[in-house]
Amino acid sequence: MQIEGMMKLDQFMNQTFLFCFLFIIINTMEFNYFYKLPQEDWMNLMIMGIKAGYAHVFMDKAEYNGEEMIKIRSEMMIALKRSGLLLQLSKTKEAYLGMDLLPRHFISTSNETGEDKLVEGKIENGTVTLRTTLSGKTTVESKAIPTDIVFEEMLGFIALSRGLKVGDQYDLNVFNLELLEPVKTTVAVAGEDVIDYNGEQKKVFVLDYTLDLMGGIQSREWLGPDGTTYKMAMGAMGIEMLRTDKQTALGEVGDVDVIINTKIFPQGEQPESGSDYFKARVTLSSGDLSQTFMNTERQKISLGPDAKTGILEVRTLAISEQSAPSLPITDRRNNPLPPFIPLNKGGQGVVNGELSEFLKTTMYVQADDESIRKQAHKIVSSETNSWKAAMLICKWVHDKIWNKNLKVGFGSAKQTLASLEGDCTEHTVLFIALARAVGIPSRICAGLVYQRDAFYYHFWPEVYVGKWVSMEPTLGQIQADATHIQLAGGKLESESALEFGEGVLRTLNRLQIERMQ
């Protein structure tokens, strides 16, 4: 098995889904569609210039709860290779909008975990409620809707209804129903252009969209005066959506290997796997290094004369078993942190109560699942030292996930425990669930790791054992070596885990690494 086969780009997949569904939302709200329903559109999904899938949107009038609605059904399929292994991802969404263009209800299904993930959203009485089901477990979250927001389904309609005048720019507070958060979105009419479509020259307006999310997610749309979208692009990730017909959209896809096409070759002397110190000059062609790399005890970034160049230093940490807290780690009031339920009494470790955030059960890390808890206690047995327990879990996860493949897009901890297969994401979420189940605060790290010839995008876990320590169950390292570079992203995984794609967005096709030491 090649080492590269263990690296993956789940972050890339999530960002691809986000961008493509942004296109679908904008495209469905073409100004004159309401006068000629039903209507459907087909688009080719291109990644790095190669066809990788399609998107399809169908819109018609329908009745929902006795009210006349606009029903929008959208679907997307992506076929990618990772070190030669084919991965097919799909997502469908069915939404009902009132004639006032406000959404009432939607259902979204995706398979990035290898099993269906169902998300259902309802909007009633000024509150949006989201129900997410994965691996038989359902979580429910509700939020009041801010008064100054618009919904993503209205973006295209608003752009057209305001008129398309070159130089116009305005901000919208757009509520994303799957993130359950308002996202500031800047719309700018950048210019006019002519685009070839089926041999015809079409006059279009060029619109730029910037989402105030993860450092700024930018996309560009080529929009006809009649509201027809001919093209959308997200240049930083090499993604394009091109208008086409059904037969072409459903046709064969090309050969896109995201790992081969996104790895970063370092300059200078090659790094050494297993090293305890790494120093490099890092350069971004665009962006801000201070917002790209995490500054932690093990990793420091020193900026140069501007925010695009700097010196990165990463080192492994000295760890004292004697100073590691005992299990279960407790808050300052000596109460066990949730969701840990001890099988026997005891535990003397006292740490900051904020660490309880990193013992929670989440959609992908089911730390309170009975099978996870039983296996965690079986691994740790009578060990009460948190660092020794973390090492036992790390070794068990590395040894037991015998089939280290890339067939699953983003498996959950429960799913991985049952299958004992996967790559860095599956190793990481299973490790974290097991660690949290015995009372060790833990979290996901997303970034880069050096293997063989290049840096690859990668996941690994971090545990709190008196200090935060990076571990590496995928590669069989107890403490992750100094070639693990942590990029910006969330600390606690959300239900979408979208935040761990931030580092990809900030670095893909724009980061250079030159080893100094």
**How far apart (Å, rounded) are the C-alpha atoms in residues 408 and 399?**
19
Domain boundaries, the chain: 3-257, 259-315, 354-497
**pLDDT per residue over 499-509, tens digit each?**
666 777 778 77
Q: Assess whether pLDDT exceeds 50 at residue 322.
A: yes
**How far apart (Å, rounded) are the C-alpha atoms in residues 227 and 164?**
10
Note the pLDDT of residue 343: 35
Ordered strands of the 454-464 beta sheet? 477-479, 468-472, 454-464, 442-451, 485-486
217, two tokens:
């997610």
Q: Is domain 354-497 given the CATH code 3.30.450.40 in the classification?
A: no
The DSSP secondary-structure symbol of 55 reads E
Nearest to 40 by CA among 241, 234, 228: 228
What DSSP letter does each residue of 154-184 carry, written as one string? GHHHHHHHT---TT-EEEEEEEETTTTEEEE
**pLDDT per residue over 466-516, tens digit each?**
999 999 999 999 999 999 999 876 565 666 566 666 777 778 778 999 999
176 band by pLDDT with thresholds 50, 70 and 90: confident
Note the pLDDT of residue 341: 36
388, two tokens:
């020794």
Is 153:28 a contact under the CB 8 Å cutoff? yes
What DSSP letter does each residue of 279-309 carry, written as one string? EEEEEESSS-GGGTB---SSEEEEE-SSTTE
**pLDDT per residue over 372-413, tens digit each?**
999 999 999 999 999 999 999 999 999 999 877 655 556 789
DSSP strands (E only) in 125-228: 127-134, 137-144, 150-151, 169-176, 181-197, 200-211, 217-223
